[in-house]
Amino acid sequence: MIRPFAPADLEPAIALWKRACGLTHAFLPQDFMDTVEKQLRAGGMNEASTVVFDDGGVRGFLTMTGNAINDFFVDPDHQGRGIGTKLLDHAKAGSPELHLSVFTRNTRAILFYDARGFLVVKRRHYPAARNEILLMKWERPQP
Ligand SMILES: CC(C)(COP(=O)(O)OP(=O)(O)OC[C@H]1O[C@@H](n2cnc3c(N)ncnc32)[C@H](O)[C@@H]1OP(=O)(O)O)[C@@H](O)C(=O)NCCC(=O)NCCS
């Protein structure tokens, strides 16, 4: 089930984030990862901004600011089973348009978003991460 984040989810979610990043974001510098972890711990994940997918444990989470998706991760042991699509559909249901940034080196995630209606808006350098990102946008189709 998808439910709002609760404070007790913080450590499981951080552990999940580290496992997932170890596989897909190993190209990112450690100082950048440390900064992101500090931000997540300092309120980046909270009851208002974050939903988790819970099936007896936290298997994934998605954080948002307004209509921007900030952090979106599924436990590597549970990827490829539809959890990410459910979390993304939940975000789509709550907003007529969504924005996100994804590292250009994260090819699988780009394909995931592309297959779910996101279009590339622009490409730019992200100095703190010393990498390129794509800005992507989804708009709810008109009926
Ligand atoms: C991208 C991610 C959130 C998708 O969640 P998921 O639960 O694996 O996704 P689903 O099972 O709903 O869908 C599987 C789809 O995701 C794609 N995918 C992307 N990254 C994947 C991964 N590491 N493992 C498995 N599938 C992945 C598959 O190719 C598949 O695409 P398709 O259905 O269009 O053929 C998840 O794989 C993940 O956490 N990846 C690592 C972190 C990341 O890149 N987050 C996005 C940062 S912008």
CA of 81 to the centre of ligand 1 (A): 9
CATH match of 2-139 with 3.40.630.30: yes
Question: In this structure, are residues 110 and 134 in contact, taking their beta carbons and an 8 Å threshold?
Answer: yes
How far, in Å, is the centroid of ligand 1 from the Cα of 107? 10
- The domain limits of the chain are 2-139
Question: What is the value of pTM for the model shown?
Answer: 0.95
CB 72 within 8 A of CB 87: yes
- C-alpha torsion 11→91→57→59, nearest 10: -80
**Ligand 1 atom nearest residue 85's Cα:** 12
* Euclidean distance between CA atoms 28 and 118, whole angstroms: 24
Best residue among 21, 54, 74, 78 to mutate for probing ligand 1, ranked by most atoms within 8 Å of CB: 74
pLDDT per residue of the chain (143 residues) written in tens, 0 to 9 = 999 999 999 999 999 999 999 999 999 999 999 999 999 999 999 999 999 999 999 999 999 999 999 999 999 999 999 999 999 999 999 999 999 999 999 999 999 999 999 999 999 999 999 999 999 999 999 88
Contact 114, 107 (CB under 8 A): no
